[in-house]
Structure 1
Amino acid sequence: MFKKDASWKKYSDIIDLPHHVSTKHPHMSSEDRAAQFSPFAALTGHEAAIKETARITDEFVEPDADKKQELDEELQMIRMALADNKTAKVQMIFFKPDGKKSGGSYETITGNIKKIDEYNGLIVFDDKTTVKIEKVIDILEV
């Protein structure tokens, strides 16, 4: 195993000593020891950051004055229905701002409106979904 040359003689005093066994730390298994030398991802999260940057968002397009008037009339009809304890089942298209970057996406929700919160400018659905009134693009009765 060792060549018997001059370098070998430097270790002759310890070469036959028994292997040290720690009393403080348990013996490490071969799998755990091998895991120390396995490759690791030095740039953890880098790939996710690249995907997030590449993700495309839409920009909010403000409805024109005619469309805003139409939406106001629809919301007024919904307010009257809610005041009469009637249900207001609608399909609503709205803009949902992205939480991580500028822009967002246009989404559609279908459901019963529970209330219109004028103070906070929110439309609240039965399933507790909220939509900002200013982000509504279209309202269709179902």
Structure 2
Amino acid sequence: MKYDDIIDLPHHQSVRHPHLSMAQRSAQFASFATLKGFEEEIAETARVTDDRIVLDEDEIQQIDEILQYVQCNIGDGLQITVTYFVPDKYKSGGSYVQKTGTVKRIDTIEQVITFSDSSQITISDIVGIQI
């Protein structure tokens, strides 16, 4: 029969290399990421951002007029929807966000709109307002 000459021989254990535990032996077959964090970098590079829109004088004046109207009617519970630019923390560009709410205060010195929920928007980031 096959292997009759070696079937009863004792299992060889190396004197030079210590015996591995089951966990250590299984670890050698675990998945291997050659470039740790590379997939995250690829995803970040592929993420698209919007360029900041530069408003012309007419659009700036229209936003200013709406803000003046809102300032005069601040105690009336007037709801507005503001579209504004949020710069990206990691890349050039950013995204446009809409916020709907009641204005609590317009600070013309700091150039900030404060809503009743205490969120704030910088006036220079605004690209559109709807009442």
The reply to whether TM is greater than 0.5 is: yes
* Identity over aligned pairs, percent: 34
1:103 to partner: Cα distance: 0.5
SS in 2 for 1:95: strand
Q: Are residue 103 (structure 1) and residue 118 (structure 2) matched?
A: no
**Separation of aligned partners in 1, 2:34 and 2:118:** 42
Deviating runs (4+, > 6 A) in structure 1? Answer: none
In the alignment, which of 66, 69, 72 is matched to residue 77 of structure 1?
Answer: 69
**Separation of aligned partners in 2, 1:45 and 1:120:** 40
**Separation of aligned partners in 1, 2:105 and 2:26:** 57
1:35 to partner: Cα distance: 5.4
CA RMSD of aligned residues (A): 2.8
**Separation of aligned partners in 1, 2:128 and 2:87:** 16
Q: How does 1:1-142 map to 2 (within 5 A)?
A: 1=9, 30=22, 32-34=23-25, 36-37=27-28, 38-82=30-74, 85-141=75-131
Between 1:35-44 and 1:127-136, the stretch displaced more is: 35-44
Which residue identity lines up with residue 56 of structure 1 in the other structure?
V
Q: Which residue of 1 aligns with 2:3?
A: none
Aligned pair count reads 118
**Separation of aligned partners in 2, 1:34 and 1:120:** 64
1:125 to partner: Cα distance: 1.9
**Separation of aligned partners in 2, 1:131 and 1:108:** 11
What is the TM-score normalised by the length of structure 1? Answer: 0.70
Distance 1:44 1:91, change over 3 A: same
1:2 to partner: Cα distance: 5.2
1:55 to partner: Cα distance: 1.3
